[in-house]
Amino acid sequence: MSFVDWGLDLRKRLRIGSADGGLADASLAVLLENVPVTLAVIHGPEHRYAFANRAYRAAVGRSDPIVGLTLTDALGADAAVVWGPILHEVRTGGMPWHREEVKDPFEGRIWNLHILPLQDEGGQNVGVLSLGLDVTAEVEARRKAEDSRAETLRNLERLELAVEATDLGMWEWDVQTGKVFWSERQRRIFGLPQGVEPSFEFWRDAIHPEDRDGVLAAVSSLMNPASGGRLTVEHRVVRPDGSMSWITGRGRMMYGERDGKTVTVRLLGTILDVTERKAAEETRQLLLREMDHRIKNVFAIADGIVAVSARSSATPGELADAVRGRLQALAASHALVRPLVDGTGRRDLVAIADLVRTVLKPFADAEHQVTVSGPDIKLPLDRASALALVLHELATNARKYGGLRNGNVSVSWRMESHDLNIDWAERTKQPECLGSNGFGSLLLERTVRDTLGGSITREWSNEGLKVKVLLPSTQPAGDEGAES
């Protein structure tokens, strides 16, 4: 029987004595004196107490009997102002009054109060029955639980904000029920359509086929408590639209006890989209391989420089000057054609016009000594570096004996069926060393033939020198004419 039902049943048994204003049933009064519920019978328009048990007297701060006293006499005028109208309304209107939580002013206890109308044998409302149940412990426990729940929600909000700031996706898999939870970030990373609930099957099918067996094996291993329950995987995710991302997943399997055995309960963790990092790693590896290739090429070219310079130098001083000049030109051309990864983009191609001007600038006494013309053609880095050395050798000889000493030089180029044709023409008044090996012919031929896979021809006349360089299948970028 509930507290309210008990009160309604008690109301039927109560009778108010006519002589002393107390309960007519003395034995019932003795029984109710010690029940753990505040109980009072109040009758008449003056609200006079016919009965008040020990719990009620303690609740209102009275240790002496209050039977026969009015509400004002027993509780004071202030209490009468508050409770008098309520008692009057219940007695005259015949409708019960109820409040879930009422705090008393004496001990701060919290009560569940019911005030019920009492009738005489003729069915007339003559008083009220006041019942109070101490619910302080329950209310405080509920409030603590609500506070705890609110704090938990706040902590979850903080966690979600922190996780959102790190771009982590959160997930949880209940191993026993199969239920899956995914955070909003997790849903976006996997491309889970709106309105579709996450599932183990969706997650499994989203793993790239080449990575799926390894990931599933890693997750399956967590079913064994001896595994330690830690999960770290990195794999590709293929979304329903076909787009792909790399993710790093970390998880922890939670275990419990059942029938004396350790069993899996739930797996929870986070994922992070590492697509950009993987792309950067691939780029870095590509650059490292490219750098290794270029370093080997530089040493090979340097070896050729020393060998050719030694054959064409009469003294150690000439050898030193020749090697130094060629190495400086190689360094200058390398600075021009090296890959640039500086946050503004990578330059993979070099314009021939820039290359020619850079190499010839140190050799010309005046700008009019050099004429450069040709379409806007760009070369890959490795071919541009080798061509820079060829141009340097031509410029060195022209400065010593030809067009850059007492004349001029013109350099032009054109494309013919994917083959690059470069024409070097010198005009000089006093050619002094036509056909000399000091011209660096051995280095020129080796570089053009072995490094560039092309051919070089030279033609001397009284006016100067003409050199033609043919580089087949270079496939340079851009072929729009741009005279310069």
| pLDDT score at 19 | 40
User: What are phi and psi for residue 233, nearest 5 degrees?
Assistant: -135, 155
Contacting residues for 237 by C-beta, under 8 A, at least 6 apart = 189, 190, 191, 206, 207, 208, 244, 245, 246, 247
Say if pTM beats, i.e. exceeds, 0.85: no
What do you get for the CA distance between the two ends of the chain, in Å? Answer: 105
Separation of CA 370 from chain center: 56
Copy the structure tokens of residue 331. 């360094």
Q: In this model, does residue 346 exceed pLDDT 80?
A: no
Q: Whose CA is closest to 287, among 348, 344, 352?
A: 348
* pLDDT score for 359: 83
Quote the CA–CA distance of 317 and 380 in Å, as a whole number.
36
Q: In angstroms, rounded to a whole number, what is the distance separating the alpha carbons of residues 315 and 304?
A: 18
pLDDT, greater one: 293 or 426: 426
- Per-residue confidence (pLDDT) for residue 344, from 0 to 100: 39
Strands 407-416 and 370-373: parallel
DSSP annotation of 115 reads E
**Superfamily (CATH) of domain 278-471:** Histidine kinase-like ATPase, C-terminal domain (3.30.565.10)
Q: So what's the pLDDT on residue 155?
A: 73
Return the CATH number of 166-273, one of 3.30.450.20, 3.40.50.200, 3.40.470.10, 1.10.760.10: 3.30.450.20
Q: Lowest-pLDDT range, 170-184, 309-323, 415-429?
A: 309-323
Higher pLDDT, 280 or 47: 47
DSSP class of residue 447 equals I
Q: Is 42 exposed, middle or buried (0-12, 13-18, 19+ CB in 10 A)?
A: buried
The domain spans of the chain are: 3-134, 166-273, 278-471
CA distances from 159 to 150, 190, 335, 460 (A): 14, 21, 50, 81
Integer Cα distance of 385 and 311 in angstroms: 23
Q: What's the confidence (pLDDT) of residue 267?
A: 92
In this predicted structure, the answer to whether residue 123 has a pLDDT above a threshold of 50 is: yes
Torsion angle of the four alpha carbons 401, 404, 406, 408, in this order, in degrees rounded to the nearest 10: 130
* Residue percentage of the chain with pLDDT more than 90: 33
- H or E stretch including 426? strand 419-428
Written as one letter, the residue type at 181 is: F
**3-134 shares its CATH topology with 166-273:** yes
Give the residue-averaged pLDDT of 434-439.
Answer: 44
Query: What is the band of 363 on the pLDDT scale with cuts at 50, 70, 90?
Result: confident
Among residues 362, 307, 363, 355, the alpha carbon closest in space to that of 469 is found at 355
pLDDT of residue 126: 87
Greater confidence (165 vs 266) lies with 266
| Distance (Å) of CA 290 to CA 279, 294, 301, 346, 379 | 16, 6, 16, 13, 16
Q: At what angle do helices 316-337 and 275-312 cross, to 10 degrees?
A: 160
pLDDT of residue 97: 93
Q: Fill in the DSSP letter of residue 194.
A: T
pLDDT tens digits, residue range 243-299? 999 999 999 999 998 888 899 999 999 999 999 888 888 878 866 775 675 576 567
pLDDT digits (tens, 9 = 90+) for 317-345: 888 887 887 677 667 655 664 543 333 33
CATH 3.30.450.20 assigned to 3-134: yes
Query: Percent of the chain beyond pLDDT 70?
Result: 79
At what angle are helices 275-312 and 381-400 packed, to 10 degrees? 30
Taking 90 as the threshold, does the pLDDT of residue 373 lie above it?
Answer: yes
Whole-number average pLDDT of the chain? 81
CB 456 within 8 A of CB 469: yes
Determine phi and psi for 96, rounding to 5 degrees.
-65, 155
